[in-house]
Amino acid sequence: MDNRAAMFKKVLVANRGEIAVRVIRTLHEMGIAAVAVYSEVDRAALHVRMADEAYLLGPAVARESYLNIEKILDVAKRSGAEAIHPGYGFLSENPEFADACERAGVVFIGPPSSAMRAMGSKTAARQRMIEAGVPVVPGAQSGDVEEMMAAAERVGFPVMLKAASGGGGKGMRLVERAEDLRQAYERAQSEALKFFGDATVYLEKAVIRPRHVEIQVLGDRHGNLVHVFERDCSIQRRHQKVVEETPSPAMTPELLRTMGEVAVKGARAVGYYSAGTFEFLLGADGAFYFLEMNTRLQVEHPVSELVTGLDLVREMVRVAWGEALGYTQESLVQRGHAIEVRVYAEDPSTGFLPSPGRIEALHVPAGPGVRDDGGAYPGCEISSYYDPLISKMSVWAPTREQAIQRMQRALREYVVTGIKTNLAFHQRLFAHPEFVKGHYDTGFIDRYRDALLGWPEVPAEDAEVWAVATALAASRLEGHAHARAEGAHGNGLSPWVTAQRGSWKRG
């Protein structure tokens, strides 16, 4: 599909961590040289080591390095890079960056800046989608607290307040009673201004126990647009995704066809090309509502690649070069089942607070149907300056049941020491009977908090025994990750988690 004789020779990756590594790998497969950029704390980062060239941007603070458009374009000029791939986060959805690339004569590997502007503000995107016939949650675009109160009474409580700019759960408040709206509105405004520089807040009717289902879209510069099926991203903490899968356990062929057609229609309405994602709330009654469009590559794109055979980064590069997709909606087929977990340096027992530090030992799972998109290695530092994502581990299998079994096996093999991670949380989640049945929504973690996040109370006099038990468990896991004694751990958890759950005894 790609013509190596007529393709970019050198591409700059304007990002860091696992997504920079992932993009560099595809560039190398396509015969394209990769240019990395890095901040002072990322000098020894994996993406720097893997690139063909690497250039220092500046201090660790993102606005002085990964968010500095002038510095990135200067590196592109000095290195001779013909195009820039922004990954996700940082400048990936910044239309000013896309325009600056064009002015500098560098190709932006992503959508047109006009589409980014149209969908960048949630309120503007919502109005644009209403005009395009895309279903949206009833609510109010924006206004002062009195207007919000009137809108809330019109659509009925509970309601959700959301920041018009940004995402990641920032500037978002669930309001269940009228008397709580004023304070929630003020807090949402304050948080929105702090994180996004824009205090604009809008209101939506809260959909009770919804699923968060998104549709991947892909288009070229010739007007061809397809959807690449759905992803269920309902397992979230603090409104941020931690597990994604496709197909969704709630999906039917008819619903997928309808949601896919709506997403393509919405993308066409803003002249979209490249990779992008339409996010929807899916109610228990099968009704779905537009949330937002992410005008970039999603963190969870690997599961879509596993069930279709597409390389979405490769497709983005091809589209940026000017090639046509070369396939139709009818030619795309979804095969098997894929699930992704985000492995974070965080402590679930403290509300998923980040746990930066140095990784001492790292054993990444392998074997049939296992893919790990990582940016870490033994001895590397997980910085407190950036998102604490260590890797995204995905599995593929012919059925959902087998995919869950494969994920359970892979999680037992995954070892990270030196920092705290959410691996034990994932093991508990994939052993939870309701998740295994596919019975979950966006409130799943909060609903089963004790089962997923609970830790045993250890009396002070038992502290030494506890330390020995956990150390032995960790040693056993690291030394025997591929050899699990028959029947020794019938709960399906690793010996590390078994120790944490308190299955040891005092002598």
Catalytic residues: 296
pLDDT for the residue 482: 43
C-alpha R_g of the chain: 23
Q: Is 162 helix (H, G, I), strand (E, B) or coil?
A: strand
Which neighbouring-strand residues pair with 282?
Answer: 211, 288
**Residue 5: pLDDT band with limits 50, 70, 90:** low
507 has pLDDT over 50: no
Looking up tokens 């201004």 gives 193
Bond prior to 158 in cis (omega within 30° of 0): yes
Taking CA atoms, 120 is separated from 167, 483, 502, 503, in Å, by 10, 49, 48, 50
Q: 392-412 pLDDT, tens per residue?
A: 999 999 999 999 999 999 999
Domains of the chain in sequence order: 10-109 (3.40.50.20), 138-205 (3.30.1490.20), 208-335 (3.30.470.20), 338-458 (3.30.470.20), 459-500 (no CATH)
**H or E, element range at 351:** none
Long-range contacts of 189-194 (CB under 8 A, 24+ apart): 191/163, 192/163, 192/164, 192/165, 192/166
pLDDT for the residue 464: 53
58 has pLDDT over 90: yes
Cα separation, 446 vs 319, in Å, equals 41
314 has pLDDT over 60: yes
Average pLDDT over residues 159-166: 87
Q: What is the pTM of this model?
A: 0.83
pLDDT for the residue 143: 78
**Residue 491: pLDDT band with limits 50, 70, 90:** very low
Looking up tokens 């948080």 gives 191
Cα separation, 185 vs 175, in Å, equals 9
* Between residues 137 and 321, the one the model is more confident about: 321
Cα separation, 41 vs 386, in Å, equals 10
pLDDT for the residue 190: 92
Q: 334-347 pLDDT, tens per residue?
A: 999 999 999 999 99
